[in-house]
Amino acid sequence: MGRIAIIAGTGFRALNIPDAAQPIEASTPFGQPSGPILRWMNLGHEVLFLARHGLDGSVPPHKVNYRANLWAIHQAQAQYVLAVNTVGGIASDAEPGMLVIPDQLVDYTWGRPQTFFDGDKDTLTHIEFTLPYCESFRQRLIKLAGDLKLQFLASGTHAVTQGPRLETAAEINRLKRDGCDLVGMTGMPEAALARELELSYACCAVVVNRAAGTGDVGIYAEIDQYLDQGMDQVSRLVSGFLEAF
Ligand code: HPA
């Protein structure tokens, strides 16, 4: 199996990145990634990590340079990319504190550079995106989450909104009618760019709140309450994955 990279956003510090991880400052034809790629060895395998919003968390979802991030990870020779995204739960069974390994997505973002094929017709490729996540990688995560007895859902449709504001209740109703089960702000164009680079990309979504209008407590109170619990589960999944890798 090739080298693995992890891209994570809010709460990434729970992932126990070793202090000895080496920072690689990458530059790409698409500009600067969100921060350095951190690299360390785990049981003889190289692991790469990138903080999607920067190590200081200052890059908002609509300003993330997704192209530079994915390009830098590809340049660092990752083959597998595990994306960790915090989300709100729309489906009634996507409860705060749980993980979801989505199998589908709907993209509601706009104005984000979303392709590497930007005007050079000799290399233009219309990627197939029927299944937006790598199915074999997803199945490995599902098996592992089951073995670790994590609280998780093995499928779900991931709505990706523009942010940085949260949604209105009417917007969430619309997403529900569209068949979406969870909502976050950072799943796209990351997944499509990963596919353009032929990376094996899967998402582990961490439900940290009920989506707007579907719960009865304030969204930020819930995020405070459930982020640690959710990230603790991600941390166990990532450690298990690296052990099995
Ligand atoms: N909506 C969008 N993005 C999110 C949410 C949400 O409710 N929770 C965490 N990220």
Q: Which of 84, 86, 90 to mutate to test the pocket of ligand 1 (most atoms within 8 A of CB)?
A: 86
Model pLDDT for residues 158-195, shown as the tens digit of each residue:
999 999 999 999 999 999 999 999 999 999 999 999 99
Model pLDDT for residues 218-239, shown as the tens digit of each residue:
899 899 889 999 999 999 999 9
The answer, yes or no, to whether any atom of ligand 1 lies below 6 A from the CB of 88, is yes
Task: Write the CB contacts of 230 (distance below 8 Å, at least 6 apart in sequence).
Answer: 11, 86, 96, 97, 98, 99, 206, 207, 208
Check pLDDT > 60 for residue 1.
Answer: no
The answer, yes or no, to whether any atom of ligand 1 lies below 6 A from the CB of 213, is no
The answer, yes or no, to whether any atom of ligand 1 lies below 6 A from the CB of 184, is yes
Q: Kindly give the distance from the C-alpha atom of residue 127 to the centroid of ligand 1, in angstroms, as a whole number.
A: 28
Q: Alpha-carbon distance 112 to 98, whole Å?
A: 29
Model pLDDT for residues 191-215, shown as the tens digit of each residue:
999 999 999 999 999 999 999 999 9
The answer, yes or no, to whether any atom of ligand 1 lies below 6 A from the CB of 183, is yes
Nearest CA to ligand 1 atom 9: 87
Domain ranges of the chain: 3-244
Decide which of 216 and 189 is more confident. 189
Mean pLDDT score of the chain, rounded to an integer?
A: 94
pLDDT at position 207, please?
Answer: 97
Closest residue by Cα to residue 82 from 206, 226, 228 = 206
In this structure, of 41-45, 72-76, 93-97, 189-193, the range with the lowest mean pLDDT score is 41-45
In this structure, of 50-59, 84-93, 111-120, 147-156, the range with the lowest mean pLDDT score is 111-120
Element (H, E) at 190: helix 190-196
Q: Kindly give the distance from the C-alpha atom of residue 207 to the centroid of ligand 1, in angstroms, as a whole number.
A: 8
The mean per-residue pLDDT over the stretch 93-100 comes to 97
Q: Kindly give the distance from the C-alpha atom of residue 245 to the centroid of ligand 1, in angstroms, as a whole number.
A: 30
The answer, yes or no, to whether any atom of ligand 1 lies below 6 A from the CB of 166, is yes
The answer, yes or no, to whether any atom of ligand 1 lies below 6 A from the CB of 94, is no
The helix/strand/coil state of 225 is helix
* pTM of this structure: 0.96
Reported as a pLDDT band with limits 50, 70 and 90, residue 44 is: confident
Q: Distance between the two ends of the chain, CA-based, in angstroms?
A: 7
**What CATH number matches the domain at 3-244, 3.90.400.10, 1.10.580.10, 3.90.1150.10, 3.40.50.1580?**
3.40.50.1580
